[in-house]
Amino acid sequence: MRVSSVDIYRRTVDSLMAQQSTISDLQLKISAGKKIINSSDDPIGATQASNLRYEISKFNQFIKNADAAKNILEYEDSILDSVVNIYQRIRELAINAGNASLGRDDREAVATEMEERLLELQDLVNAKDANGDYLFSGYKSKVQTVIKAADGQYVFQGDEGNRNVALSNTTSLTILDSGKGVFFNIPTDTVIGTVTSGVATLTNTPSGLVNAGTLTPLASTDLRINDVLIPASELDGISTTDAASSAIAIARAINSKIADHGVHAIVNPNSVDLGAYTPASLVGSQFSINGIAVLDNIGTEDSLLSAINLLTSQTGVIATQPGGAGTAVILTAQDGRNIQLQTSGGATASFANFNLTGAALDEVARSTVTLRSHEAFNIQGAFPSHAGFTAGTYSPSTNAGSGLITKPAIIDNITNLNETYSIVFNNPPSTFSIVADSDPGTPLEGFSNVTYVPGQNIDFLGIRVVITGTPSAGDIFGLEVEAKATQDVFTTINTLITSIRNFGFEPIRYSYEIGQALNNISYAESRLIETRAEVGVRINIADSQKDFNDKLNVLTQSILSEVEDLDYTEAITKLTQNSFILQAAQQSFVKVQGLSIFNYLR
């Protein structure tokens, strides 16, 4: 193969240029301090370095987030610390206001300072951060947290969102709490009352005398009241037969869910009309009531009644003859238990409605249950007839008079929050009685036939109402009290201010209002303590996560350094070697370039 001088020249120049490029590349890397200038220098290393730089940028952002989170959390904690001071001062003022020796001017001074503290509290809850965002408004950070509406009520305008920041790929930290949970949804001892007009009642059908053991107990799907499923009835512990089917058992099952459906079930006395009696002596088991044999050797109507009534403590049943001699004998169980009647047959005596002379009998009668509510209620279920009811909606009666009742005020402790009450106007309506709806046949003590005075306070069992106008006979006003689930701290303080100003002349109510306020302030303080504890934990998390990210950042930068940082000793050595090689090659090329065969031919 022939190699021309041109080829030799070109190849030599290419080699020199490549060597020069290598030296330039080494010089550039030494200048930059990096061994990867272009991706082509080390494709795998370049990719790894890019990923590591991305991780470092994330760690730097997480560190900034941790610093920002700590700053805002410390700011929130300082706000909450100021709120704690306000709560403590309100508590001190409330205790001072409860001093019976204070006069009107003294109480007014206390109320005035409380108003100032309330305004201060509102300002703190409406605090903003450095960006002008409201701290406690949740995601609605541009909306003022709380305002006082025209009706005097305090309104939370934010939402329940809690703003978060990322401290790592898997850790998100809440930096601000919604004021809804901190200042508004606070547990309370406050009791509220409502009033209605009229009453809705429904009484189931009595069973009459039927064969013992044939009454159907209430199953768990048989009855719904206001869409609330009534549990299966259980043995009433008193009836001698069909004890799970008695009026007592049914009422207990219904009342076990009264907090959910709001309808009272009242057991009515159980009565059995035996009809006219054909007198004769009774011996052995010729006639038994609730498992107890009735023995009558005399064999008259009077002796029968006496014999039955002597056993009342055992049977729970009394016998009467309301129409007098020769009329029907009535058996009554006042507590509503089942009445079981048995006979072995063959007696000479007998009743028109229960034959003692024929074959043996074992029969039972179930009493009735009355449902009572001041609001419409609905009866449904798979078999409401098993409880003697018919499916449907039952509405309250309508008062005929012009009487009006105010919203109840709670003036003392309420002993039974599940009870409702009725104010019933008598005939004539110049008097009224107050009954508990669980026992509407018995007026409350001291509230039977009370003289009606329009506009006068009606105080009973810690409740106060006022009725005005002209009620008609039979008009009914219903009252219900219930525990309020939550209350905002602004309402607690505002209500306390009103009580201090207005109720100092009513010792019982005043003491109740002060006590309620102190309890509610304690709940608000507890919620604040919980929130501050959570804030403290978050500050610690921000610190620890920042330290962790710092360590990861240093470690990642170390790995990145290993991947892309230049080894100066190695690089300079290579540069020196390549420079020497280039210099030698250049010198050789100069000498070779001067060689020619013609020089030897001269």
- Whether residue 179 is contained in a domain is answered as yes
> For residue 45, is pLDDT > 90?
no
DSSP state of 222: T
Please report which confidence band the pLDDT of residue 279 belongs to, taking 50, 70 and 90 as the band edges. very high
**Domain containing residue 470:** 193-197+397-486
Contact between 492 and 499 under an 8 Å Cβ cutoff? The reply is: no
* pLDDT attached to residue 511: 93
Instruction: Looking at the structure, tell me whether residues 177 and 73 fall in a common domain.
Output: yes
* pLDDT attached to residue 241: 97
Please report which confidence band the pLDDT of residue 435 belongs to, taking 50, 70 and 90 as the band edges. very high
Element (H, E) at 249: helix 247-255
* pLDDT attached to residue 234: 96
In the sheet with 208-211, reading across from the earlier edge strand, the strands are 208-211, 361-366, 339-343, 288-289, 292-293
Determine the average pLDDT of the residues in 60-70: 84
More confident residue, 42 or 164: 164
Determine the average pLDDT of the residues in 537-558: 83
Instruction: Looking at the structure, tell me whether residues 322 and 448 fall in a common domain.
Output: no
What is the Cα–Cα distance from 87 to 493, expressed in whole angstroms? 9
Separation in Å, CA 385 to CA 138, 216, 234, 381? 52, 9, 17, 9
The β-bridge partners of 457 are 466
- Whether residue 584 is contained in a domain is answered as no
> For residue 558, is pLDDT > 60?
yes
* pLDDT attached to residue 24: 58
User: 566: which 2 tokens?
Assistant: 């230049």
CATH number at residue 296: 3.30.70.2120
> For residue 600, is pLDDT > 60?
no
Instruction: Looking at the structure, tell me whether residues 179 and 75 fall in a common domain.
Output: yes
* pLDDT attached to residue 13: 59
Instruction: Output the CA torsion sign for 56, 62, 66, 68.
Output: positive
What is the Cα–Cα distance from 287 to 278, expressed in whole angstroms? 13
If we measure between CA atoms, which residue out of 246, 244, 264 comes closest to residue 255?
264
> For residue 565, is pLDDT > 60?
no
End-to-end CA distance of the chain: 27
* pLDDT attached to residue 39: 57
Total count of residues recorded for the chain: 602
* pLDDT tens digits, 474-503: 999 999 998 889 999 999 999 999 999 999
* pLDDT attached to residue 461: 94
Last residue of a domain, one of 310, 344, 366: 366
Instruction: Looking at the structure, tell me whether residues 71 and 88 fall in a common domain.
Output: yes
Instruction: Looking at the structure, tell me whether residues 473 and 448 fall in a common domain.
Output: yes
- Whether residue 295 is contained in a domain is answered as yes
- Whether residue 178 is contained in a domain is answered as yes
Last residue of a domain, one of 516, 532, 548: 548
Instruction: Looking at the structure, tell me whether residues 460 and 505 fall in a common domain.
Output: no
Contact between 198 and 399 under an 8 Å Cβ cutoff? The reply is: yes
User: 515: which 2 tokens?
Assistant: 């006590």
Instruction: Looking at the structure, tell me whether residues 516 and 437 fall in a common domain.
Output: no
- Whether residue 74 is contained in a domain is answered as yes
* pLDDT attached to residue 178: 92
> For residue 590, is pLDDT > 80?
no
Determine the average pLDDT of the residues in 580-592: 59
- Whether residue 205 is contained in a domain is answered as no
Indicate the angle between helix axes 104-125 and 489-502, nearest 10 degrees: 170
> For residue 296, is pLDDT > 80?
yes
Q: Quick one: residue 432, left, alpha or beta (phi over 0 = left, psi -120 to 50 = alpha)?
A: beta
* pLDDT attached to residue 547: 86
Per 3-state DSSP, what percentage of the chain is helix, strand, and coil (rounded to 5)? Answer: 40, 20, 35
Determine the average pLDDT of the residues in 516-537: 94
Determine the average pLDDT of the residues in 278-293: 96
Instruction: Looking at the structure, tell me whether residues 454 and 529 fall in a common domain.
Output: no
If we measure between CA atoms, which residue out of 147, 146, 148 comes closest to residue 138?
146
Instruction: Output the CA torsion sign for 452, 454, 459, 463.
Output: positive
pLDDT > 90 fraction of the chain, expressed in percent and rounded: 69
- Whether residue 212 is contained in a domain is answered as no
Element (H, E) at 593: helix 568-594
Instruction: Looking at the structure, tell me whether residues 460 and 358 fall in a common domain.
Output: no
CATH number at residue 515: 1.20.1330.10
What is the Cα–Cα distance from 313 to 290, expressed in whole angstroms? 11
What is the Cα–Cα distance from 477 to 402, expressed in whole angstroms? 12
* pLDDT attached to residue 533: 94
Determine the average pLDDT of the residues in 25-45: 58
> For residue 601, is pLDDT > 70?
no
Instruction: Looking at the structure, tell me whether residues 410 and 337 fall in a common domain.
Output: no
* pLDDT tens digits, 381-411: 999 999 999 999 999 999 999 999 999 999 9
> For residue 22, is pLDDT > 60?
no
* pLDDT tens digits, 85-135: 999 999 999 999 988 888 899 999 999 999 999 999 999 999 999 889 999
Instruction: Looking at the structure, tell me whether residues 90 and 159 fall in a common domain.
Output: yes
> For residue 17, is pLDDT > 80?
no
> For residue 595, is pLDDT > 90?
no
- Whether residue 345 is contained in a domain is answered as yes
Query: What is the rounded average pLDDT for all residues in the chain?
Result: 88
> For residue 593, is pLDDT > 70?
no
Considering only 54-68, 216-230, 449-463, which range has the smallest mean pLDDT?
Answer: 54-68
Considering only 47-51, 202-206, 418-422, 531-535, which range has the smallest mean pLDDT?
Answer: 47-51
If we measure between CA atoms, which residue out of 469, 426, 475, 479 comes closest to residue 198?
475
Last residue of a domain, one of 447, 468, 486: 486
Determine the average pLDDT of the residues in 286-303: 96
* pLDDT tens digits, 351-379: 999 999 999 999 999 999 999 999 999 99
If we measure between CA atoms, which residue out of 91, 77, 87, 75 comes closest to residue 121?
87
Q: What are phi and psi of 409, to 5 degrees?
A: -105, 135
Q: Per the structure, how many domains does the chain have?
A: 3
State the number of CA atoms in the 13 A half-sphere of 80 facing the CB: 27
* pLDDT tens digits, 147-191: 999 998 999 999 988 888 888 888 888 888 899 999 999 999 899
Task: Give per-residue burial for 506-531: e unless 16+ CB within 10 Å, then b.
Answer: eeebbebbbebbbebbebbbebbeeb
What is the Cα–Cα distance from 326 to 277, expressed in whole angstroms? 7
pTM tops 0.75, yes or no: no
Instruction: Looking at the structure, tell me whether residues 440 and 502 fall in a common domain.
Output: no
